[in-house]
Amino acid sequence: MSLTGTSRGGKGGQKFGARRAENNRIYAHPLPIVCPSPSSSAFAPLLCLLFPASARLDNPHCEGVFDPSTRSVWVLTERDATILWRRGFFGKGDLSRSEPSWLARQLNARKAAGKYMTSEEVREKRRQERRQFKLDRAAAIARAAAEAEAAFAEGREAAPAVIPSGATWKPSAPGEPSLPVAPPEDEDDSDNDADKEEEPLDNVEHLQLTLQEAWFLVWNLDCLTVLDPHTNEPMSLQRIWRAFQGVHCIPPDLPVYADRFDNLFLVHYAAYHYYRALGWVVKGGIKFCVDYLLYKRGPVFHHAEFAVVVIPVYEDPADQESSPFNLPNANTFSWTWLSTVNRVNSQVQKTLILTYVTIPAQSRVSPDALSSPACLAHYSVRDVVLRRFIPARMRD
Amino acid sequence: MEKHPSYEVLSSYLPIYPKAAGALFQTYNDLKYAQQWSDLELVELPGCARCGLKGRRPQTDEVLSIVPCSLSESLSTDWIRTTFRELGAPPHVYLAINTEDSSIVYYKISPGIVKPPL
């Protein structure tokens, strides 16, 4: 929400148009795998039709390291982190809001008056403005109350109160002119200016992929290699499959954890895969008390329209009783909980979706199925969209 | 994780409370590098099976207390009361809820009712 007025015409409009075009260019590829544009030769497209195997896909072959304690895969190289973020918005910089921008922010801070602002700095500025607005509003309310008291005591009408609202308030001391937001390329160039006077900065940030994102890249797109954290050797698909389920089994290798379909990784992966396969960009939703947020193209384009809560449903209730896991939201929820989550999300103009993931019964499906991801076919996903209906206001 | 510069500082504490190791690591890094807190020190909280953190925000003098936890944990009010006790009864405690994608959400918890500032 911008308190300095959302209507930007003229020069501001040009800035926005250029920003949009820039974003469309940088974030053009929805997935890390890219189909190369057809070559100038007239025969290339024909060849692709006749001999599909010769249609080459540009696979970036990224690398990540598995970290069991944070239950994630870390992408340590800048090249791979940039590719995975820009082609599909996979992962999150662990010291940033979204894309890894920690180094850029530190270098900005070092140059006394930073030329550009990263998204974190924009957020700081917005929060300060909001704080100032709240102070001004509280002072205005106090003044109006005092004036009303004085007027009542004197037996006259109080002067009409002027209380600033979000739409009418302007920051009283504009301070420095608003800085343009950094175009993403600046991250790469700023490294050259790093050691003018102070010692060079090590980039301690990495891109963190959730296990669901990592498995999606490994299994479906084959564009990520996961390394073992101790040996630095690439892990085989089987090992990755078992290791990702194993993070939820503490302590590991207990027989009670073996052959369970209700492993949290599997349940969440079923939902993640469902929405990714439909073309949504799926990110974490903890800021809005939900499991996932769905973006139509990506976080840089527009706010998320949908907030997803994953609700596991056991096909066989006996499995739930025998479960060593305590899956969140697996029990009947209360109306207060539902109202709370819906209210939080409607205040930020998001629609709540309840995604029911049905966990197959141990009695019906053999536990051997768990040795391969083919068992995911046994999970079913249903979604229910929730909107609050107010009969007095919604007449249509 | 071992190659990260923060590991040295945390290495004596991470093996003691392995279940909370990921949350502690992420919270420590966020406070030290992203939020730029100073004078970060670790406080053992044996009643909660983890380490807490104390430090100062940039440009402030007040020492604040942070307790990291992960989204998959279930907490009870008794657990929260234990954190207050073991941190030496600070006026408020920040609960750092860590997620697998490295998002951290901080919740400020005070013992008793607190009037909102504005």
pLDDT in tens, A101-125: 999 888 887 775 556 667 777 888 8
Task: Using pLDDT thresholds of 50, 70 and 90, give the confidence band for residue A55.
Answer: low
What's chain B's length in residues?
Answer: 118
Alpha-carbon torsion angle A9, A11, A13, A18, nearest 10: 180
pLDDT one-digit tens code per residue, A18-36: 888 888 889 989 999 888 7
Measured between CB atoms, which of B30, B101, B118 is closest to A210?
B101
For residue A225, the model assigns a pLDDT of 94
Residues in A closer than 8 angstroms to B25, CB to CB, are 69-70
Residue of A nearest to B101 (CA): A210
| Whole-number Å distance between alpha carbons of B73 and A240 | 24
Tell me, yes or no, if B113 comes closer than 8 A to chain A by beta carbon: no
For residue B115, the model assigns a pLDDT of 87
Average pLDDT of span A172-200 = 49
Measured between CB atoms, which of A70, A135, A137 is closest to B100?
A70
Average pLDDT of span B46-63 = 90
A72 pLDDT above the threshold of 60: yes
pLDDT one-digit tens code per residue, A279-331: 999 999 999 999 999 999 999 999 999 999 999 999 999 989 888 888 989 99
A196 pLDDT above the threshold of 50: no
Task: Using pLDDT thresholds of 50, 70 and 90, give the confidence band for residue B108.
Answer: very high
Q: Per the CB < 8 Å rule, is A286 touching B102?
A: no
Quote the mean pLDDT of chain A. Answer: 83
pLDDT one-digit tens code per residue, A372-385: 899 999 999 999 99
Residue A277 is encoded by which pair of tokens?
């396969």
How many other CB atoms sit within 10 Å of the CB of residue A30?
Answer: 14
Q: Per the CB < 8 Å rule, is A286 touching B97?
A: yes
Tell me, yes or no, if B118 comes closer than 8 A to chain A by beta carbon: yes
Interfacial B residues in 26-85 facing A (CB < 8 Å): 26, 29-30, 33-34, 71-72, 74
Percent of chain A with pLDDT over 70: 83
- Which residue of A67, A286, A291, A325 is the best one to mutate when testing the B interface, meaning the one whose CB has the most B CBs within 10 A? A286
A251 pLDDT above the threshold of 50: yes
Q: Per the CB < 8 Å rule, is B99 touching A286?
A: yes
Is the alpha carbon torsion for B30, B34, B37, B41 positive or negative?
Answer: positive
A165 pLDDT above the threshold of 60: yes
A352 pLDDT above the threshold of 90: yes
Average pLDDT of span A154-183 = 69
For residue A189, the model assigns a pLDDT of 40
Average pLDDT of span A2-27 = 68
A389 pLDDT above the threshold of 70: yes
| Whole-number Å distance between alpha carbons of B66 and B76 | 17
Residues in A closer than 8 angstroms to B4, CB to CB, are 204
Residue of B nearest to A135 (CA): B118
Give strand pairing partners of B66. Answer: B53, B94
Q: What is the ipTM of this complex?
A: 0.91
**Residues in A lying within 8 Å of B, measured between beta carbons:** 67, 69-72, 91-96, 102, 134-135, 137-138, 202, 204-205, 208-211, 213, 229, 248, 250, 264, 283-284, 286-287, 326, 328
Q: Per the CB < 8 Å rule, is B97 touching A72?
A: no
Average pLDDT of span B60-77 = 91
Tokens 């696979």 belong to A59
Contact by Cβ (8 Å): B107, B95? yes
How many other CB atoms sit within 10 Å of the CB of residue A383?
Answer: 18
For residue A276, the model assigns a pLDDT of 95
Q: Per the CB < 8 Å rule, is B101 touching A229?
A: no
Residues in B closer than 8 angstroms to A102, CB to CB, are 33-34
- pTM equals 0.82
For residue A173, the model assigns a pLDDT of 59
Task: Using pLDDT thresholds of 50, 70 and 90, give the confidence band for residue A7.
Answer: very low
| Secondary structure string (H, E, C) spanning chain B | CCCCCHHHHHCCCCCCCHHHHHHHHHHHHHHHHHCCCEEEEEEEEHHHCEEEEEEECCCCCCEEEEEEEECCCCCCHHHHHHHHHHCCCCCCEEEEEECCCCCEEEEEECCCCCCCCC
Residues in B closer than 8 angstroms to A229, CB to CB, are 1-2
For residue A112, the model assigns a pLDDT of 54
* Continuous segment of H or E residues that includes residue A15: helix A11-26
Task: Using pLDDT thresholds of 50, 70 and 90, give the confidence band for residue A183.
Answer: very low
For residue A384, the model assigns a pLDDT of 95
From the CA of A30, how many Å to the nearest CA of chain B? 20
Tell me, yes or no, if B7 comes closer than 8 A to chain A by beta carbon: no
A136 pLDDT above the threshold of 50: yes
Distances, alpha carbon A101 to alpha carbons A78, A79, A89, A118, in Å: 11, 14, 14, 7
For residue B91, the model assigns a pLDDT of 92
For residue A45, the model assigns a pLDDT of 61
A182 pLDDT above the threshold of 60: no
Measured between CB atoms, which of B4, B22, B103 is closest to A71?
B22
Task: Using pLDDT thresholds of 50, 70 and 90, give the confidence band for residue A193.
Answer: very low
DSSP assignment of A47-83 equals HHHH-GGGS--B---EEEEEETTTTEEEE-SHHHHHH
Task: Using pLDDT thresholds of 50, 70 and 90, give the confidence band for residue A396.
Answer: low
For residue A180, the model assigns a pLDDT of 53
